[in-house]
Amino acid sequence: MSLDIKRSSINKTKKKTGFIVKMQLNNNNNRGGNNKTNLFFIFFRNYYRWVIWLFLSLYFFTSYFAGDQSSPSTTTTTTTSLLSNHQTSSSLPSRALIESSAILKPGGPFSGMKIYVYDLPARFNVDWVTASDRCASHLFAAEVAIHRALLSDSSVRTSDPEEADFFFVPVYVSCNFSTANGFPSLSHARSLISSAVDFLSDRYPFWNRTRGSDHVFVASHDFGACFHAMEDMAIEEGIPEFMKNSIILQTFGVNYKHPCQEAEHVVIPPYIPPESVQRAIDRAPANGRRDIWAFFRGKMEVNPKNISGRFYSKGVRTAILKKYGGRRRFYLNRHRFAGYRSEIVRSVFCLCPLGWAPWSPRLVESAVLGCVPVVIADGIKLPFSETVRWSEISLTVAEKDVKNLRKILERVAATNLSVIQRNLREPAFKRALLYNVPMMEGDATWHILEALRRKLDRSYRRSSVLSQ
């Protein structure tokens, strides 16, 4: 054979090959030249390991499928699970994608949480809006917006109070907040809410069984449920006793002990109409240029004390006006202007000093219109601080440092201004600070529901189930 001839010419130093050739020659001689048999024998001796491996693989492969088919219940369960989630392994290549999809699913974070919205007589809410259109659009109108958003959300709202985790009490106390002389008045608030609680206690069992611990109120004004615009008077009057056991959604929040937040609470944004924000964006300069460097428009006292005898803004706004009024790079104006949001979209820095209370609607207006909020209010707790990274979209200046405000802003402009502005452009930040009807995923009401979900230990329904 030609094969034998080629093998015999191989160098003798290759001992293993030479040995195999010799065996082949000897076998040929002993078997009398049966070429076909010899060829098969040679092939098998050379490749028997591969042949054995092939047969073993086929055995285990067929055994696996035979065993899998013998467990139809397992296959059915897996298939049902995949179909119920409308997902297959081919359409979702990784577990990470599956998990993120579940997180982003509308209503996903609140699975199982239910809120019952009391249907109170119109004198507690609707009549106030009917009497004044401004009730549903001014900076305190979160109480109206949250109520409307909950009514429109069928995924969380329940019509059966027996299955509710929380009970929302829709009382509008901020609609009639302004008197003829312009000073805020909330003298009616305590009696109005007290009357609503009496109404609920008489007609429903849910307030009495928990003393209101699973009930939610909105107090969207200066010092929350203390119901007074002046801090000293608010502290003196305190939170009404009947509300101290409940959950309060309030715009007021500080990072230190304060009598006006001595109740379970969630700090929420003040209300800014989304449509007014969109109008300002639509009217912004086409080239996106911001030609106002530092902007503020609002109440600024020339003298340290105003007519009430109290220091407005703790003197901070007066200090800003005296130090920077008339400066070329500071656009400060004390007079009202309906289109002032068109000035915000042209501004780089928007000053947000405290007023009667630490918070200000300018925080929201500035952030959603891309102007860097400069927060000047010592100890303020900003809304949704657990999830909104305020340090990445705003500046904080101590009240005592307003005399150095120009230098501080110049330093930021020269270092990380572009980073802050880029962060402000992220839709998630804007969405978290605005109320929508119906509610949108990630908006202000959505974050309120997320905050309530973290307080589900106050749910009477759930605690009753666990105790059984």
CA-closest candidate to residue 374, choices 386, 390, 385: 390
Q: How confident is the model at residue 103 (pLDDT cuts 50, 70, 90)?
A: very low
Residue 349 is given by DSSP the state: E
Q: How confident is the model at residue 308 (pLDDT cuts 50, 70, 90)?
A: low
Pairwise pLDDT comparison (55 vs 259), residue with the higher score: 259
pLDDT confidence of residue 112: 87
Under DSSP, is residue 109 helix (H, G, I), strand (E, B) or coil?
helix
pLDDT confidence of residue 463: 86
pLDDT confidence of residue 307: 58
Q: How confident is the model at residue 464 (pLDDT cuts 50, 70, 90)?
A: confident
Q: Could you state, in order of their start, the residue ranges of all structural domains in the chain?
A: 115-271+444-467, 274-432
Q: Over the stretch 336-352, which tens digit does the pLDDT of each residue have?
A: 898 999 999 999 999 99
Residue 271 is given by DSSP the state: P
What are 408's two structure tokens? 């501080």
Q: Give the least confident one: 166-175, 176-185, 306-315, 391-400.
A: 176-185
In whole angstroms, what is the distance from residue 181 CA to residue 186 CA?
A: 14
* Neighbouring residues of 232: CB distance < 8 A, sequence distance ≥ 6: 310
Check pLDDT > 60 for residue 20: no
Q: Give the least confident one: 169-178, 327-336, 432-441.
A: 169-178
* Global pTM value: 0.76
Check pLDDT > 60 for residue 317: yes
Proportion of the chain above pLDDT 70, given as a percent: 73
Q: How confident is the model at residue 33 (pLDDT cuts 50, 70, 90)?
A: very low
Residue 243 is given by DSSP the state: G
Pairwise pLDDT comparison (376 vs 107), residue with the higher score: 376
pLDDT confidence of residue 195: 97
Residue 363 is given by DSSP the state: H
In single-letter form, the type of residue at position 377 comes to: A
Q: Over the stretch 213-227, which tens digit does the pLDDT of each residue have?
A: 999 999 999 999 999
Q: How confident is the model at residue 131 (pLDDT cuts 50, 70, 90)?
A: confident
Whether domain 274-432 has CATH 3.40.50: the reply is yes
How many Cα atoms within 13 Å fall on the side-chain side of residue 345?
19
In single-letter form, the type of residue at position 100 comes to: S
In single-letter form, the type of residue at position 43 comes to: F
- What pairs with residue 117 in β-bridges? 168
pLDDT confidence of residue 91: 29
CB atoms within 10 A of CB 46: 11
In whole angstroms, what is the distance from residue 26 CA to residue 464 CA?
A: 91
pLDDT confidence of residue 174: 87
The CA-atom distances, in angstroms, between 267 and each of 36, 233, 241, 334, 361 are 91, 21, 20, 28, 13
Check pLDDT > 90 for residue 365: yes
In whole angstroms, what is the distance from residue 400 CA to residue 71 CA?
A: 74
pLDDT confidence of residue 302: 81
Q: How confident is the model at residue 132 (pLDDT cuts 50, 70, 90)?
A: confident
Pairwise pLDDT comparison (465 vs 461), residue with the higher score: 461
Helix (H) or strand (E) holding 248: strand 247-250
Q: Over the stretch 320-340, which tens digit does the pLDDT of each residue have?
A: 999 999 999 999 999 989 899
Place of tokens 């259109």: 133
Pairwise pLDDT comparison (198 vs 62), residue with the higher score: 198
Q: How confident is the model at residue 369 (pLDDT cuts 50, 70, 90)?
A: very high
Pairwise pLDDT comparison (93 vs 189), residue with the higher score: 189
Pairwise pLDDT comparison (67 vs 269), residue with the higher score: 269
Q: Over the stretch 34-86, which tens digit does the pLDDT of each residue have?
A: 444 454 444 445 555 555 555 555 554 444 444 444 333 333 332 222 223 33
Kindly state the average pLDDT of the residues 167-177.
Answer: 89
Kindly state the average pLDDT of the residues 296-314.
Answer: 79
What are 85's two structure tokens? 């989630």
What are 8's two structure tokens? 């015999």
Pairwise pLDDT comparison (169 vs 36), residue with the higher score: 169
Helix (H) or strand (E) holding 115: strand 115-117
